[in-house]
Structure 1
Amino acid sequence: MSESKLNLFSFSGKTRILHLSWFAFFLTFVVWFSHAPLMASIRETFGLSDQEVKMLLILNVALTIPARIIIGMLVDAFGPRRIFSMLLFVSSFLCFGFAFADDFETLAMIRFLLGFVGAGFVIGIRMISEWFPAREVGLAEGIYGGWGNFGSAAAALTLPTLALWYGGDDGWRYAVATTGAMILIYSVVYFFSVTDTPKGSTYFKPKKNGAMEISSRGDFFLYLLMNIPLYAALALLTWKLGPSNLKMLGDAPATMIYASLIGLYIFQTIRIYQINSHVFNAPVPEIERYKFKQVAVLDLAYFVTFGSELAVVSMLPLFFMDTFELSIVQAGMLASGYAFMNLVARASGGLASDKIGRKKSLAILITGLSIGYFVMSQIDSSWPITVAVLVTMGCSFFVQSGEGAVFAMVPLVKRRMTGQIAGMAGAYGNVGAVTFLTILSFVSPSIFFMVIGGAAIVVLAAVLLFLDEPAGQMAEVMPDGTVQMIDVA
């Protein structure tokens, strides 16, 4: 960590790790969203109904919620180098399976499993936090998240052309398989090109695995409370696929899933108690404490930032098409401006967090997000299209900058659990998407935007009232028992 500042044109030291990691994340998003721009061809090949297409879209995000929690635990325990390489390697074969599936059942099952690749984001958060000091971590995490997140837009821009280049009815299959080959090769490249920490640094691991460590009785119950929405979102997805909606699941399978979710929550509660039962017997030493409310507020902030981004990206092309009577191609091009903001917005949010303060910058950005969505709720056919697009991109800037500000703070809560904290916050982003898209199915787009704006006001209150500005240092215990102090400000 001898470099004094971040030089993006360098490919050595910490900047090299940043470039290698954001590109790994970029590839995971290319694979995760590889089906979306090719859905018309996939639908034609398999003769899919509208309900089956919807089922594939839902299955693509369903597993990502628990996956981000699980991957967060694994990366803390085994290190980002091994886990990122493993995720890329395994996902490549799932990608091949999707590309060459010969029936809808296989296609749906593999699409469900590919939701796991969406957890790749969490891994790089821990990797970047190990290589960059607190004064730069916001910008570095913002670049990692923003440039990597652009993978979904890259897939939309390139895969249809690649499928046409391959040609024939199976062109889409070879296009998807190409993305699988890319991550297979890169899994090897990444494994042999990075290390978990700079030379001489210690990689701190949780004392116990299976759940997050907490510091007080109050934090124990807050942790249990914050886990409920994760299971509720999966129950909501089951309901959408169940007999009262898409009818893709019968009564018996749906009931079995509900029972399994309840059982898993009970099991996790028991595991959390096993790991943290000591807080009911004696106070945790001051040097090892952290405030779980920091995690809870960051979860909610990501719920309203990344959650709204995923939801709006899903509906915006159709919204533009219906509102301004555009072709689907024109609407898609205009709506892409929302996603393109990722290239600069996340990094801007991270940089603001580094320069003007974590809490202040997050509060400002969530305020802008809320105002942006309230303005978007007023868009109708009387608006000039140019103004509507500019308003949308302006709102998107605050949304994605807010995401950068959230993950500028995640690594500064408790170093040895950064993966788990990032995993939980990331999962809340998917919970937000499921929640907002479900609301959209019952209301008009105008009300949908107003609901997001209102949710942002609630989260803003939580930030102002409960989030603490990181200050001073955090303590981590070395393997030999000595204590290392890590700057967080």
Structure 2
Amino acid sequence: MMSTHEKTSRRILILSTFGMALAFTVWASLSPLANQFEALYGLTATEKSILVAVPVLLGSIMRVPAGILADRYGGRKTFTFLLLFTVIPLLGVGFSTSFYSLLFWALLLGVAGASFAVSITFVSKWTPSEKQGTALGINGLGNFGTALAGFTLPTIALLVGLQWTFWVLIIPVVIMAALMWFWTPETPQTGEKKTLLGSLSVLKFRNTWTLSLFYFVTFGAFVAFGIYLPTLLMDLYALSAVDAGMRAAGFVVVATISRPLGGYLGDKIGAGKVLTVVFLSIALGALIISFGMASIIVMTFACLLVAAVTGVGNGAVFKLVPQLFPKATGAVTGLVGAAGGLGGFFPPILLGSIRDITGTYTLGFLCLALLSILCLIINKRQFDKSTSRSFVEANA
């Protein structure tokens, strides 16, 4: 029979995962509808790219203060406030009458992406250390909200119109905020509350920067592929937008489903060993894409390989975060999560620039392979060792 704490922990895990999935649907809501906004406002390709990128950028940056707030005030208050705040930009997008007003609300819509840091912090605080990898891996399934936006919002827009698509999202957001407030307990405070400067003191530890680099690669690749793969596939193989979009959604689904496996394996054999395989596989996948992208079959295999291992890598990285920083999980989660989000923001721009300059994407994927090899070397030196122990940083 489960204890009261175990029941509470499970309830928090379930609600936080669904809450993050819903928030990620809101966060990614503009991307699948970008073509309709292009037609509505006569946007250029650059303006459309900016519209899609703005929420990603702010959502990444906002993970830092969101994680700190979750540490300071608890997951229940922070998550509820974040969900209710997203109602404002959802209303605003529906009332927009120009590109610039839409861009303003798109910026605020990015706050929904910060739900990742809040959810991870909330779940980790209520989960025993020996089960955190598995629990946080399951919690990471909330990333599926990105694919959910692509699967559902275009159809909703056809049924109720572009304006009402965003207003319809308000209903589940408010319901989820109520569930979070009334059905989850507040996180017990341990020790004195840290100031903002105190929370950011984790930046002085090497492990903070190492985990940020790792997540920049694993989660960054997940986001970058999810965002840019439709454009890449249409350019390389002249696929239709629907076909390319479905293939990209498949990438997101594979990466999301494999994330819990990374956390589970991190619990069982150690996150360091898991990350060694992950970075080797990402490097291999990137090399296969670099030299084999002429074939859609080879490209499909390589992309699915990268999807699976980036998902596993995301889970493994967040096995290490609460393990190394049990007293500053929110702050480190925010910083690492921000690095991952930024890792998804810059590669599409880099790939597009390389394509314009060289005529191919090869150099961009070679950069991914080299960065993965760098992470592999660092991981072998820091985390993939025969014995594991707590670090001094754990008391940060």
- The normalised TM-score by structure 2 is 0.91
1:343-394 Cα shifts (integer Å, max 9, x gaps): 421001111101111211122212212211111222333x2x3443232111
- Which residue matches 1:152? 146
Highest CA radius of gyration, 1 or 2?
A: 1
Correspondences of 1:156-195 after superposition (within 5 Å): 156-166=150-160, 171-195=161-185
Correspondences of 1:392-431 after superposition (within 5 Å): 392-431=303-342
- Which residue matches 1:358? 271
Q: 1:5 to 1:210 in 2, by over 3 A?
A: closer
Q: 1:205, 1:86 → 2: CA distance?
A: 24
Please state if 1:223 is matched with 2:199: no
Q: Name the one with the larger helix percent.
A: 2
1:308 Cα deviation from its structure 2 partner: 1.7
Please state if 1:79 is matched with 2:74: yes
1:474 Cα deviation from its structure 2 partner: 8.6
**Which consecutive residues of structure 1, in runs of 5 or more, have no partner in the other structure?**
7-11, 215-219, 225-291, 478-489
1:473 Cα deviation from its structure 2 partner: 9.2
Q: 2:394, 2:150 → 1: CA distance?
A: 43
1:203 Cα deviation from its structure 2 partner: 3.0
Please state if 1:211 is matched with 2:197: yes
1:3 Cα deviation from its structure 2 partner: 5.3
- Which residue matches 1:17? 12
Q: 1:24 to 1:338 in 2, by over 3 A?
A: same
Please state if 1:88 is matched with 2:83: yes
1:415 Cα deviation from its structure 2 partner: 2.1
- Which residue matches 2:357? none
Correspondences of 1:56-135 after superposition (within 5 Å): 56-135=51-130
Q: 1:14 to 1:223 in 2, by over 3 A?
A: closer
- Which residue matches 1:280? none
AA of the residue aligned to 2:40: T
AA of the residue aligned to 1:374: L
Q: 2:272, 2:392 → 1: CA distance?
A: 18
Q: 1:386, 1:4 → 2: CA distance?
A: 51
Q: 1:295 to 1:206 in 2, by over 3 A?
A: farther
- Which residue matches 1:463? 379
The answer to whether the 8 Å contact 1:135/1:354 transfers is yes
1:419-461 Cα shifts (integer Å, max 9, x gaps): 0000000011122223323321331322211111111111111
Q: 2:3, 2:258 → 1: CA distance?
A: 25
1:51-106 Cα shifts (integer Å, max 9, x gaps): 22122122222222331111111111100100000000011121111122122221
Q: 1:371 to 1:189 in 2, by over 3 A?
A: same
Q: 2:222, 2:199 → 1: CA distance?
A: 30
- Tell me which moved more, 113-122 or 369-378: 369-378
Correspondences of 1:266-277 after superposition (within 5 Å): none
- Which residue matches 1:262? none
1:37 Cα deviation from its structure 2 partner: 1.1
- The normalised TM-score by structure 1 is 0.74
AA of the residue aligned to 1:18: L
The answer to whether the 8 Å contact 1:349/1:403 transfers is yes
Q: 1:315 to 1:473 in 2, by over 3 A?
A: closer
1:5 Cα deviation from its structure 2 partner: 12
1:399 Cα deviation from its structure 2 partner: 0.9
The answer to whether the 8 Å contact 1:137/1:354 transfers is yes
AA of the residue aligned to 2:54: L
Correspondences of 1:24-63 after superposition (within 5 Å): 24-63=19-58
The answer to whether the 8 Å contact 2:65/2:334 transfers is yes
Sequence identity (%): 31
Q: 2:117, 2:43 → 1: CA distance?
A: 33
**Which consecutive residues of structure 2, in runs of 5 or more, have no partner in the other structure?**
355-359
Secondary structure at the aligned position of 2:374 is classed as helix
The answer to whether the 8 Å contact 2:132/2:267 transfers is yes
Counterpart among 334, 348, 370 of residue 454 in structure 1: 370
- Which residue matches 1:231? none
RMSD: 2.5
Q: 1:415 to 1:210 in 2, by over 3 A?
A: same
1:216-256 Cα shifts (integer Å, max 9, x gaps): xxxx7x936xxxxxxxxxxxxxxxxxxxxxxxxxxxxxxxx
Secondary structure at the aligned position of 1:415 is classed as coil
AA of the residue aligned to 1:194: T
- Which residue matches 1:256? none
Counterpart among 328, 352, 356 of residue 241 in structure 2: 328
Q: 1:475, 1:325 → 2: CA distance?
A: 50
Counterpart among 290, 308, 315 of residue 377 in structure 1: 290
The answer to whether the 8 Å contact 2:150/2:249 transfers is no
Q: 2:19, 2:307 → 1: CA distance?
A: 24
The answer to whether the 8 Å contact 2:72/2:193 transfers is no
- Which residue matches 1:270? none
Q: 1:447 to 1:362 in 2, by over 3 A?
A: same
Q: 2:307, 2:2 → 1: CA distance?
A: 36
Q: 1:196 to 1:371 in 2, by over 3 A?
A: farther
The answer to whether the 8 Å contact 1:73/1:211 transfers is no
The answer to whether the 8 Å contact 1:88/1:117 transfers is yes
Secondary structure at the aligned position of 2:196 is classed as coil
1:143 Cα deviation from its structure 2 partner: 1.0
Structure 1 runs of 4+ with >6 Å offset: 473-477
1:152 Cα deviation from its structure 2 partner: 0.8
Q: 1:305, 1:65 → 2: CA distance?
A: 15
Q: 1:475 to 1:323 in 2, by over 3 A?
A: closer
Number of residue pairs aligned between Structure 1 and Structure 2: 388
1:259-294 Cα shifts (integer Å, max 9, x gaps): xxxxxxxxxxxxxxxxxxxxxxxxxxxxxxxxx222
Q: 2:74, 2:5 → 1: CA distance?
A: 25
1:322 Cα deviation from its structure 2 partner: 2.2
Please state if 1:391 is matched with 2:302: yes
Q: 1:318, 1:379 → 2: CA distance?
A: 18
Q: 1:3 to 1:395 in 2, by over 3 A?
A: farther
